[in-house]
Amino acid sequence: MTRVRYRVLWMAFLLAIITFLDRVCISFAAPHMMDDLGLTMVQMGLVFSAFTLAYSLFEVPSGWLGDVLGPRRVLTRIVLWWSAFTMLTGAAQGNRSLLAIRFLFGAGEAGAFPNAVRSFSQWFPARERGKANGVLFFGSRLGGALTAPLALALIEGWGWRASFVAFGSVGLVWAAVWYATYRDRPADHPDVDVAELAWITQDGPAAAHVVRTPWKALLSSRNLYAICAMYFALGYGLYFYFTWLPTYLTRELRFSMATGGFFAALPFLLAGAANLAGGWFTDHLARTRGLRVARCTLGSLSFATCAGLLVASTAVPSPIVKALLLALALASADFALSACWAVCLDVGATHAGVVTGFMNTSGNLGGLIGPLVVTLMVERWQSWTYVFYVTAAVYVMGAVAWLWIDPDRQIA
C-alpha cells in the first residue's frame, strides 16, 4: 500500500507550526513595535484583539468555502493571504495601519484549521482521524513552543520589521508545495495505488465538494450548539496561556525571566504530547467502545480533570507546584483536542468545514473574552485566585456540553 495520506498529514503538521509562528511572533516583537511606533499598552492590546476578532468572524465563511471549493484551492489562498499580511506587518507606520494589517491578517488566516481537518475527511478513514488530528495539533503546540527562541533571535539579529518578512516567507513556500502536491480526491492523485484508495474509502467514498449546504439543519442542530459550547470553554482557558501566563509566572509567582520562560513553554510541550496520545486513544476507543465513549466521555473527563487541576493550583503554596499544575491542566484539556475536531467530522461529514468553522469561531470568541475577564478580575480583587475559579467553572460547563453531543447523528 502507498502512504500518500501521510504526506498530506505531514503538510498539515507543517501548516500548524507555521500558523502559530506567524500568529504569536508579534507578542515578542510588541515591546520594540511600541517603542518605534509610539504605541501605548491599550493600543497594542487593541492590535492583538483585531486579529482575534477578524479570525472569529471569518471562520465560518472560510470553512464553507472549503466544503464548496475544496481544501486545495482554499488553503492555498489562506496561506498566501496570511503570509502577505505577516510580511506587511513589518511595514506598519503607526497605530491605524497596524490595526488594519492585523485585522486583515486574522481574516486571511481564518479557516486554516477547518480546511486542514476537512482534508482529513477525504484522506483518512474514520479509524485514523483522531491520530491525524493529534499530529495536526501537536504541530500547533510545537509552533507555540518554537516561536519564542526563533522570534527573539530574528528580532535581535535583524530587527522586528525584517523578522515579519522572514516568518511570512515560510508560508509562501508551503502554499506552493501544497498546491502542487495535494488533491481534493485521493482518486485523482497519481501516486495513490488501489490498496491505499480502498483503505481510505473503507467507510464509503466521500464527496470532494458539496453542492448544497443545509443551513436550516445546521442552525437547528443540537449537536452544533453543544460543540460550540464545548469549544468556547476550551478557547476561554487556552488564551490564558497565550496572553497572561508569562505575567502571572513572573509577577505573581516571582519567577526569574529564565525560569518563567521555561514554565511558560512547559504547558505547550505537555499539551503537544497530550495531543498525540489523545488522538491515538480516541481512535482506539472508537474501534472498541464506539464514538460516544471515544468523543464525549473522553472529552468530558478531560475537561473536568482540567478544571480540578486549575482549582488545585490555587490551594498549594509552592510556586513550582502551581506552575506544574497549570501546565498539566492545559495538557488535560488538550488530551481531548483531537476528539473535538474528530467529532466535527463525525457529525458534519461533507459539511465538516462549516461545522469546524462554527466550532473554531466559538473557541476564538472564548479566547477574546477570557483575557479581558482576567484583566478585570485581577484589577478588581488584586488576586489571581478567582481567575482560576472562573476558568475552572467554564471548563465544567464544557464538560457538560460534551455529554449533549451525539457523534452518531450526522447533520443531513
Structural domains of the chain sorted by starting position, each given as residue range(s) with its CATH number in brackets: 1-211 (1.20.1250.20), 214-412 (1.20.1250.20)
Rounded distance, CA 359 to CA 364, Å?
Answer: 9
Residue 159 has pLDDT above 90, yes or no: no
Rounded distance, CA 334 to CA 13, Å?
Answer: 16
Residue-level pLDDT at 393:
98
The tens digit of pLDDT for each residue in 348-376 reads 877 877 888 899 899 989 988 888 888 78
Residue-level pLDDT at 382:
85
In angstroms, what CA-CA distances link 371 with 242, 247, 320? 9, 12, 23
What pLDDT band is residue 391 in, cutting at 50, 70 and 90? very high
The tens digit of pLDDT for each residue in 36-64 reads 888 876 677 778 778 888 888 888 888 88
Longest dimension (CA), the chain: 64
Q: Are 407 and 295 in contact (CB under 8 A)?
A: yes
Rounded distance, CA 406 to CA 296, Å?
Answer: 8
Mean pLDDT of 387-394: 97
Mean pLDDT of 94-106: 89
Residue 127 has pLDDT above 90, yes or no: no
The tens digit of pLDDT for each residue in 242-279 reads 778 877 888 889 888 778 778 888 898 899 899 989 98
Residue 211 has pLDDT above 70, yes or no: no
Residue 121 has pLDDT above 90, yes or no: no
Name residues whose C-beta falls within 8 Å of residue 218's C-beta, 6 or more positions apart in sequence: 224, 351, 354, 355, 358, 411
Mean pLDDT of 121-148: 84
Of residues 184 and 31, the one with the higher pLDDT is 184
Residue-level pLDDT at 153:
80
Rounded distance, CA 166 to CA 160, Å?
Answer: 10
Rounded distance, CA 239 to CA 314, Å?
Answer: 19
Q: Are 377 and 275 in contact (CB under 8 A)?
A: no
Mean pLDDT of 295-311: 98
Residue 152 has pLDDT above 60, yes or no: yes
For the ranges 18-22, 73-77, 132-136, 315-319, the lowest mean pLDDT is seen at: 18-22
Residue-level pLDDT at 206:
63
Residue-level pLDDT at 412:
63
The tens digit of pLDDT for each residue in 169-208 reads 999 999 999 999 999 999 999 999 999 999 998 877 665 5
Residue-level pLDDT at 8:
94
Name residues whose C-beta falls within 8 Å of residue 349's C-beta, 6 or more positions apart in sequence: 121, 206, 410, 411
User: Against a cut of 0.85, is the pTM above it?
Assistant: no
Mean pLDDT of 3-21: 91
pLDDT over 90 percentage in the chain: 44
Closest CA to 107 of 329, 321, 364: 364
In angstroms, what CA-CA distances link 27 with 7, 32, 87, 287? 32, 10, 15, 42
What pLDDT band is residue 76 in, cutting at 50, 70 and 90? very high
Q: Are 8 and 185 in contact (CB under 8 A)?
A: no
**Cell numbers given for 241:** 496561556
Mean pLDDT of 155-162: 85
Residue-level pLDDT at 64:
85
User: What is the overall mean pLDDT for the chain?
Assistant: 88
